[in-house]
Amino acid sequence: MKIILLYGGKSAEHEISLLSAHSILQAIMYSVYTVQPIYITKDGRWIKGEVLDQPSLGDQQLILRSSDQMGWSDANTPSQGIEIAPGAIQEKDAIVFPVLHGPNGEDGTIQGFLEVLDMPYVGAGITASATGMDKIITKALFNQAGIPQVPYVAFTDSEWKLQQEALIQKVEGTLLYPLFVKPANMGSSVGISKVQDKKCLIEAVTEALKFDRRIVVEQGIQAEECEVAVLGNADIHVSTVGHLVKKQDFYDYNEKYVNNTIEMEIPAHLPENVIDQIQNYAKRAYLAIDGAGLARADFFVTSNYDIYINELNTMPGFTQFSMYPSLWQATGLNYRDLIEELLQLAMTRYHARRQLTQALID
């Protein structure tokens, strides 16, 4: 079977996608699969590379260029590709692995496109991808599922323009500094700021509005960050719980992915009943958004062991050292077998959907 690997994308998390794709390519069982790399550039061009039957040399090799972007001297470089229309990826007996993080990849757009092409794909469907990406919608669903969350205030760019002072009063009357200001539809801490006063709040909202028109302001709390990996379709499995060992209160995008200053403690040193509750909340959150394939559930745990869900990431970072595969490694499922399990879950879900569609036609 051929795996069509989609990576890159029109997203601020483009570089993370390259790292994830490179790691996946090192672990594919090439005795069973070939891989068709499809690189989506930052400006949305789809570049098709040569079919791979062995691992790539490095993540930079995955930055493909079409012939019109290269000089004649580059004609035989391994990064040469052909620009294609997105629909040209449609192929029988192929499965798509969309290793795309953030908007235009993890938010239901690619998933809807692949549904139209009638192709099996790894990960969550349209509903789970769209809701999992949107912090405001997930908060509403988690509240309905009875999963504790920190207090928050949400608003749009138009509301901010027309009612800025009223919104500031609402925020300061409802929440206490420090606060976290977040774009509703971004991941990997892109556009997120920690603020201590009104001046910083205004600056942080201005920054967040560069990434999304909808904003969430959350109550900051003294807590540890813990994460659990979820795997499955109807039959849901959860990993052991991991803990992010922080040397400072807040890590932005650069600290997480450029400077790589975050350490992971797996398993987390927590009481057994707390671990059980975190895992239970992770399953409930996964069901609440209609999850499928995989997700990483992120939580805050206070010194009193109060638990608050932060978010559910439907396509988490997938390097061999990322939290999601590391959690499964610690639980007894290695990286290569995890990829194989995700491929099988994708095929199972695809065939189940086709049976439902056929039943409706009949």
Task: Enumerate the known binding-site residues for Mg(2+).
Answer: 298, 311, 313
**Of these residues, 13, 15, 106, 227, which one is catalytic?**
13
Q: What would the DSSP string read from start to end of 239-284?
A: EEEEEEE-SSS---HIIIIIS---EEESS----HHHHHHHHHHHHH
- Helical H runs in 109-217? 109-116, 126-133, 135-144, 157-174, 198-208
Annotated binding site: 135, 180-182, 188-189, 218-225, 298, 310-311, 313
288-308 residues labelled b (16+ CB within 10 A) or e (exposed) = bbebbbbbbbbbbbeeeeebb
**Of these residues, 20, 56, 129, 322, which one is catalytic?**
322
Is residue 11 part of the annotated active site? The answer reads no
In this structure, the number of other CB atoms found within 10 A of the CB of residue 187 comes to 27
253 within 8 A of 188, measured Cβ to Cβ: yes
Pairing of strands 2-8, 94-99: parallel
Is residue 15 part of the annotated active site? The answer reads no
Q: How many C-alpha atoms does 22 have within 13 Å on its Cβ side?
A: 16
CA distances from residue 291 to 131, 274, 339, 342 in whole angstroms, order as listed: 10, 23, 17, 13
In the DSSP assignment, the letter for residue 19 is H
Max CA pair span of the chain:
64
**Of these residues, 23, 188, 193, 239, which one is catalytic?**
188
Is residue 56 part of the annotated active site? The answer reads no
Annotated binding site for ATP: 135, 180-182, 188-189, 218-225, 310-311
Catalytic residue positions? 13, 188, 322
